[in-house]
Amino acid sequence: MGRLSDLFAPETVAVVGATDREGAVGRAILENLRDGFAGEVVPINPNRDEVLGLECYRDVQAAPPIDLAVVVVPPTIVIDAIEDVAEAGIDDVVVITAGFAETGGEGAKRERQLRELAAEYDLNVVGPNSLGVMSTPNGMNATFGPENALEGSISFMSQSGAFITAVLDWANEQGIGFQDVVSLGNKTVLDETDFVREWGEDADTDVIIGYLEDIDDGQAFLRTAREVTDDTPIVLVKSGRTDAGAQAASSHTGAIAGSERAYEAGLEQAGVIRATSVQELFDYARALSGLPQPDGDGVAVVTNAGGPGVLTTDAVGDSSLRMADFTDETIDALAEAMPDEANVYNPIDAIGDADVERFREALDTALDDPNVGSAVVVSAPTAVLEYDKLAEVVIEKREEHDKPVVTCLMGGERARAAEEVLREFGIPNYFDPSRAVAGLDALARYCDVSERTIGEPTTFDVDRERAREILERAHDREDNRLGVESMALLDAYGIPTPDGEIVDDPDRARDVAESIEGDVVMKIVSPDISHKSDIGGVKIGVADDDVYDAYEDLVARARNYQPDATVLGVQVQEQLDLESATETIVGMNRDPQFGPLLLFGLGGIFVEILEDTAVRVAPIGEDEAREMVDEIQAAPLLRGARGREPADVDGVVETIQRLSQLVSDFPSILELDVNPLVAGPDGVQAIDLRLTVDTDEL
Amino acid sequence: MGRLSDLFAPETVAVVGATDREGAVGRAILENLRDGFAGEVVPINPNRDEVLGLECYRDVQAAPPIDLAVVVVPPTIVIDAIEDVAEAGIDDVVVITAGFAETGGEGAKRERQLRELAAEYDLNVVGPNSLGVMSTPNGMNATFGPENALEGSISFMSQSGAFITAVLDWANEQGIGFQDVVSLGNKTVLDETDFVREWGEDADTDVIIGYLEDIDDGQAFLRTAREVTDDTPIVLVKSGRTDAGAQAASSHTGAIAGSERAYEAGLEQAGVIRATSVQELFDYARALSGLPQPDGDGVAVVTNAGGPGVLTTDAVGDSSLRMADFTDETIDALAEAMPDEANVYNPIDAIGDADVERFREALDTALDDPNVGSAVVVSAPTAVLEYDKLAEVVIEKREEHDKPVVTCLMGGERARAAEEVLREFGIPNYFDPSRAVAGLDALARYCDVSERTIGEPTTFDVDRERAREILERAHDREDNRLGVESMALLDAYGIPTPDGEIVDDPDRARDVAESIEGDVVMKIVSPDISHKSDIGGVKIGVADDDVYDAYEDLVARARNYQPDATVLGVQVQEQLDLESATETIVGMNRDPQFGPLLLFGLGGIFVEILEDTAVRVAPIGEDEAREMVDEIQAAPLLRGARGREPADVDGVVETIQRLSQLVSDFPSILELDVNPLVAGPDGVQAIDLRLTVDTDEL
């Protein structure tokens, strides 16, 4: 346990605002604590000497030493009550009271006060507006919910108290147990990152699950969760995935919705397994909490029913797993053991008259196969198959081979007893073959997460000072939109740009052109003219002799188009051979939760119409940059599809990393687009740049 | 009821092969029939006078008049037994006996005999290798399964008997009832199309559901299902979706797997709603069997719990539905009725202390809104909310407003009684908000199906005779691969092709070139050279004066490349302005189940790398052809994205239809590719053609 040990394993809990008034929250909490907590419960109420048979104190100062204070007083006096708690030297506080930021006005002020108080006294505060916390090892139910949790190895956080009450009822019926449960409330002080860190250090927590509507600090969460998921799986329902859902979440908790794309990327980078429903959340958690990691991605399916066997196979095909190819030995052994009509290839169909012994033989043989990493047992009820005995066989073989096995014993009530026995041994039984495979798939995906190595971002040797100067110039100009005139920024970060210069007289233009081999490209440079081509502001293939006139013409066109436009000059640039090159885009915008979000895609229609892009939260290292390039659908075009020469993918990967470093170094860069970044067989070149900077801070 | 009325509503059922031997299938069926069937049960067994207390006859001739014979005799005598049944004038037979095509050898022969016998006597045969049939109105359970079905309005067919036993057990527990149930077995005579037709005519069947591993005759199924789905929803699990699944299905039932793409297109065109799991199948069926059709796609969500409300909103965002925009009147009325902390926008959060009256108010107001077509009630358990009373309110308001309402009353056991009451009134309660919305979504999708009008395929005025002659020439040449030399085929079907001709001497080449305005394109024409460009077999922009030499050069190159290649000549073709045009592809291949499968996409990388294509089973009319063009991701490129001039989409749509007519007229065309079909602003032109024909049949 980490620094929050007093929150979940206190010896003494005070209920500040305890009462025996029927229907009061302060009574419900006291009752829940009294009914199971192994430690001492101390009611605090200045108007009572005793509450529900427990000695009551007028304030925390007067009470015996307290580890955890649960505060349920009315909103108008809640800040004073918490201050009393802090003054009494109590560091851990659960604030049940509502009426904070979620109500605006006075509430928002109260929330600020609470934050300040917590900072001043270094308090661990859960809530406010929380259902409370539970910890099953010591029987502590410091919530006002109607249900207590069973003991288990899942720790559960939720940004919705109702979600907890809705789930517990059902989980109890299913025999699903928890270690700690916390209702996060407004997350004024402690948030998801704190609990992920805490439970990551808790040896008794096998799986962390949560329902979240937002993540306060995406970067902190990403760093922490990435470490925690090395050892402990995290499964989250992050709601507000859709536009409508995000709007609803925002009106529910006042959360500012970051983009779903950022959450998707950030949670994936953090190693979090995402669920989209309550059912998925627990289907995954059940597999992750009791089974060993699979030994490879090959799945064996053992069944007595052809149809369900085919459905299971389809589900495997839909997952990250694959049907195991049995070795010849396995097939021979199965053929020996099974009747002629059985199918000894995967899925093994032991056919309708299979009894428990035939299942034992099939499962044992399959799990013995080195190509089998895990197994699913799927059965239809028959007169000759006893489910209780089948459960015993599954438990025995799972342990003997130390490979994960999940079951789908079909047929309602008939399977209930067997399901309970299986559960005791950590084997989840699922209603449906597709859910069984999804459970196994979560386990396999977590196995990948726990085994992955994510290289640290490379720190390239860049000219940070020069970049700072360029950005400062924009700051001085009070212009927040920068364009091609700031290409030196890329140069400072070691990103190749075509030879050339921005000049402000025609003679200089000719000099520059003459210093460049071959014809040049000339472009008007003006922050006020964004679509240069449309006004004839770009000239291609200009010979040295024509450069002077071309300069005059470009400036005239710009003036003609918009007399008051700021013209910074004309860019004279090396003309690249684009014939064998591919246009790509690397962009960045800042997400309110996750910060810099990098985007990669091929140019033009690929980004604009097909939306074929990859995103990652920066900073990223080489592996992640390469993943970005590989995961777009059009990736084969870069790798030399259809007879093209392969582009310099390594150059693209490096450029993405250098831009990751740039946007991480300068938070004042709000948006950035290198478009196009041309990738040819011999290298990459950034042709154009647009960025938006925050001129207030640099 | 249709022609299969004796199958489901017989007055007398014979069990041929009835026995009282413990564990025998012939006993299990007799017991199941005896225990509930409203009609008469007649055991047939030459060695018994009485079986299980019922008078037994030596053969069907000796028995009283029989409507339906269930045959369970051993495989070696099954054909004789069925012949006896047919001779006795019984038209309806269920063959339980296994050991037919699924075992190969003798079994395959037996299956042929059964098919012939059925044709000779015009028998309706279910099976062989079937679990049997059930029909609840008359209590008939003519299966050997352990469970009987409850009465209801869902009719259910399954290609897997185990699937039926696995499902019934659970369905009984859930109170889900059925009208008819049939285990299709080997489908030697009656198949899915027959039952879809039968149940489509059955007033007591509200929903048809099924588990299928293949569809015997895709075209027949499509036509029948399309009619039936006007009035009766069909929900199917078609397994073998994935490659691994298809392989497993094939080894299970011996079904030849057609392509998943064909099933996907064919089932969609048929109006079938597809489920991928047992759970989805029943989640959809429950919504479709008891609720009215929604009045528009706006959904209202009413809840007492913010978190689950957001999850529900996400689920709506994922579906074909959308969150309803409430009218000002609705919002005012809700604001009046709800406490200040409630959210009166959609999702309506009546907050944690909402009692049944507040739910009543909220649901009533929401359903009254003209923008609300349906509603989801989502609740977390609280001390103040009585689920039984909530169920009554939901039932009352659903009926009062005649709009569909589904519920998600969270919290296991606590919701059970309310769930049962809701079910009685046709309102499905779901475990999870996402499943509740998926149920409502199935209802909405079916509403679209039932309201759609699919135009008959247009019959264009084409020169079918000329097309036949061209195909016959290929037949005479015994060459099954046709190329550009058969472009006249397209011409015969009114598809524009560039001016030009295939010539076999250089003088004629020049004459043709001179008759065409501007430069020409010249291509070598040889069935043996498929990648013409690679060997320099294509010349672009050839001026009239150069045509003679170009001809000689092309032929020399072809000879040089492959001395024994058949050279049919050189194509001299008008050179099109491709600058402003878009290359598209229209293709066709024949699926073993569904027949001609049309494909449309943009050329090159769009088809080959991005796999951005649309497919339909031919024949199709204008609406479906237009859908094909619209549904590809790159469709905006045709419609004039990024400053391009819009292409002649109507021309593309017409070409697809004309090709649909061509491939429907000539089953000997096995594969066809018009690639490219160039679509410019002023029209379309088919530039190249490849087809494979069956030279054995024309």
Residue A282 has pLDDT above 90, yes or no: yes
Structure tokens at A231: 């050892």
Greater pLDDT, B678 or B528: B678
CATH 3.30.1490.110 fits B291-451, yes or no: no
pLDDT one-digit tens code per residue, B605-639: 888 888 899 999 999 999 999 999 999 999 998 99
**A377 contacts: CB under 8 Å, gap ≥ 6:** A302, A303, A359, A363, A390, A394, A405, A406, A407, A408, A409
Nearest to A314 among B240, B251, B435 (CB): B240
Structure tokens at B585: 């592809």
Instruction: Indicate the DSSP class of residue A255.
Output: P
Q: How far apart are CA B286 and CA B278, in angstroms?
A: 12
Average pLDDT of chain B to the nearest whole number: 92
Domain ranges (residues) in chain B: 5-287, 291-451, 499-574, 582-693
Record: contact A612-B608, CB cut-off 8 A: no
Class of the CATH-defined domain B5-287:
alpha beta
The whole-number average pLDDT for the span B264-272 is: 96
pLDDT one-digit tens code per residue, B678-690: 999 989 999 989 9
Q: How far apart are CA A197 and CA A220, in angstroms?
A: 11
To the nearest 10 degrees (0 to 180), the angle between helices B243-253 and A306-318 is 170
Separation in Å, CA of A113 to nearest CA in chain B: 22
- pLDDT band, very low/low/confident/very high, at B697 (cuts 50, 70, 90): low
Start-to-end C-alpha separation, chain A: 40
Record: contact B169-A322, CB cut-off 8 A: no
Greater pLDDT, A537 or A585: A585
Residue A417 has pLDDT above 70, yes or no: yes
Greater pLDDT, A582 or B2: A582
pLDDT value at residue A615: 95
- pLDDT band, very low/low/confident/very high, at A698 (cuts 50, 70, 90): low
Contacts of B354 in chain A (CB under 8 A): none
- pLDDT band, very low/low/confident/very high, at B171 (cuts 50, 70, 90): very high
CB A655 within 8 Å of CB A586: yes
Among the CATH numbers 3.30.470.20, 1.10.630.10, 3.50.50.60, 3.90.700.10, which is that of B582-693?
3.30.470.20
Nearest to B251 among A158, A318, A345 (CB): A345
Cα B161 to the center of its chain, rounded Å? 22
Structure tokens at B154: 């869902």
CB atoms within 10 A of CB B504: 13
- pLDDT band, very low/low/confident/very high, at B255 (cuts 50, 70, 90): low
Contacts of B431 in chain A (CB under 8 A): 170, 278-279
Q: Which of residues 613-642 of A touch B (CB under 8 A)?
A: 633-634, 636-637, 641-642
Residue B256 has pLDDT above 70, yes or no: no
Any A CB within 8 A of B612 CB: yes
Instruction: Indicate the DSSP class of residue B57.
Output: B
pTM of the model: 0.93
Q: How far is CA B595 from CA A382, A677, B35, in A?
A: 39, 46, 46
Q: How far apart are CA B518 and CA B122, in angstroms?
A: 67
pLDDT value at residue A528: 81
Contacts of A163 in chain B (CB under 8 A): 305, 307-308, 380
Nearest to A412 among B170, B317, B352 (CB): B170
Contacts of B414 in chain A (CB under 8 A): 169
Q: Is the dihedral of CA B142, B148, B153, B159 positive or negative?
A: negative
The whole-number average pLDDT for the span B291-317 is: 95
Number of helices (H), then strands (E), in chain B: 24, 30
Nearest to A306 among B146, B252, B381 (CB): B252
Any A CB within 8 A of B52 CB: no
Q: How far apart are CA A13 and CA A3, in angstroms?
A: 17
Residue B243 has pLDDT above 90, yes or no: no
Q: Concatenate the DSSP letters of all residues of B394-458 into one string.
A: HHHHHHHHT--EEEEE-STGGGHHHHHHHHHTT--B-SSHHHHHHHHHHHHHHHHHHH---PPPP
Nearest to B242 among A242, A318, A636 (CB): A318
Strands (E) located in A307-448: 322-323, 348-349, 374-379, 405-409
Nearest to A555 by CA among A570, A540, A543, A544: A570
Question: Residue B484: phi, psi to the nearest 5?
Answer: -60, -20
Residue B83 has pLDDT above 70, yes or no: yes
Any B CB within 8 A of A446 CB: no
Nearest to B310 among A239, A306, A634 (CB): A239
Q: Which residue of B has its CA nearest to A173?
A: B412
Q: Concatenate the DSSP letters of all residues of B564-616 into one string.
A: T----EEEEEEPP--TT-EEEEEEEEEETTTEEEEEEEESTHHHHTS--EEEE
Instruction: Indicate the DSSP class of residue B362.
Output: H
Q: Concatenate the DSSP letters of all residues of A505-556 into one string.
A: SHHHHHHHHHHSSS-EEEEEE-TT---TGGGT-EEEEE-GGGHHHHHHHHHH
The whole-number average pLDDT for the span A229-237 is: 97
Q: How far apart are CA B689 and CA B498, in angstroms?
A: 12
Its ipTM equals: 0.91
Report the share of chain A in percent with pLDDT over 90. Answer: 74
pLDDT value at residue B698: 53
Any A CB within 8 A of B276 CB: yes
Q: How far apart are CA B634 and CA B613, in angstroms?
A: 9
Record: contact B433-A316, CB cut-off 8 A: no
- pLDDT band, very low/low/confident/very high, at B578 (cuts 50, 70, 90): confident
Rg of the Cα atoms in chain B = 32
Provide the pairing of β-strand A374-379 with B234-238.
unpaired
Residue B363 has pLDDT above 60, yes or no: yes
Nearest to A381 among B169, B307, B432 (CB): B169
Q: Which of residues 68-87 of B touch A (CB under 8 A)?
A: none
The whole-number average pLDDT for the span B128-136 is: 96
Contacts of A341 in chain B (CB under 8 A): 103
Record: contact A343-B252, CB cut-off 8 A: yes
Record: contact B642-A276, CB cut-off 8 A: no
Record: contact B605-A642, CB cut-off 8 A: yes
- State the count of interchain CB pairs (< 8 A) between A and B: 267
pLDDT value at residue A41: 97
Provide the pairing of β-strand B92-95 with B68-71.
parallel
Record: contact B241-A317, CB cut-off 8 A: yes
Record: contact B605-A435, CB cut-off 8 A: no
Residue A641 has pLDDT above 80, yes or no: no
Mutate to test the interface with B, among A183, A311, A637 (most CBs of B within 10 A): A311
pLDDT one-digit tens code per residue, B93-126: 999 999 998 888 889 999 999 999 999 999 999 9
Mutate to test the interface with B, among A173, A314, A632 (most CBs of B within 10 A): A314
- pLDDT band, very low/low/confident/very high, at B233 (cuts 50, 70, 90): very high
| CATH topology assigned to domain B499-574 | Dna Ligase; domain 1 (3.30.1490)
Nearest to A213 among B310, B431, B633 (CB): B310
Q: How far apart are CA B31 and CA B40, in angstroms?
A: 13
CATH homologous superfamily for the domain A479-574 = ATP-grasp fold, A domain (3.30.1490.20)
Any B CB within 8 A of A646 CB: no
The whole-number average pLDDT for the span A531-555 is: 87
Q: Which residue of A has its CA nearest to B248?
A: A310
Separation in Å, CA of B412 to nearest CA in chain A: 4
Separation in Å, CA of B416 to nearest CA in chain A: 11
pLDDT value at residue A256: 54
Nearest to A678 by CA among A569, A579, A565: A579
Q: How far apart are CA B502 and CA B570, in angstroms?
A: 5
Mutate to test the interface with A, among B143, B186, B314 (most CBs of A within 10 A): B314
Mutate to test the interface with A, among B213, B311, B338, B409 (most CBs of A within 10 A): B311
CB B162 within 8 Å of CB B228: no
Q: Do B499-574 and B5-287 fall under one CATH topology?
A: no
Residue A503 has pLDDT above 70, yes or no: yes
Record: contact A410-B239, CB cut-off 8 A: no
Residue A50 has pLDDT above 80, yes or no: yes
Q: Which residue of A has its CA nearest to B299?
A: A244
Provide the pairing of β-strand B500-503 with B569-574.
antiparallel
Any B CB within 8 A of A130 CB: no
Q: How far apart are CA B221 and CA B217, in angstroms?
A: 6
The whole-number average pLDDT for the span B575-601 is: 90
Contacts of A279 in chain B (CB under 8 A): 431-432, 434-435
Q: How far apart are CA B384 and CA B352, in angstroms?
A: 9
- pLDDT band, very low/low/confident/very high, at B2 (cuts 50, 70, 90): low
Nearest to B609 among A431, A608, A637 (CB): A637
pLDDT one-digit tens code per residue, A329-360: 999 999 999 998 899 999 999 998 899 999 99
Average pLDDT of chain A to the nearest whole number: 92
Report the share of chain B in percent with pLDDT over 70. Answer: 98
pLDDT value at residue B254: 58
Contacts of B316 in chain A (CB under 8 A): 242, 244-245
CATH homologous superfamily for the domain A292-451 = Succinyl-CoA synthetase domains (3.40.50.261)
In the numeric block, the tokens 């993918």 are attached to: A649
Nearest to A307 among B211, B410, B411 (CB): B211
Start-to-end C-alpha separation, chain B: 40
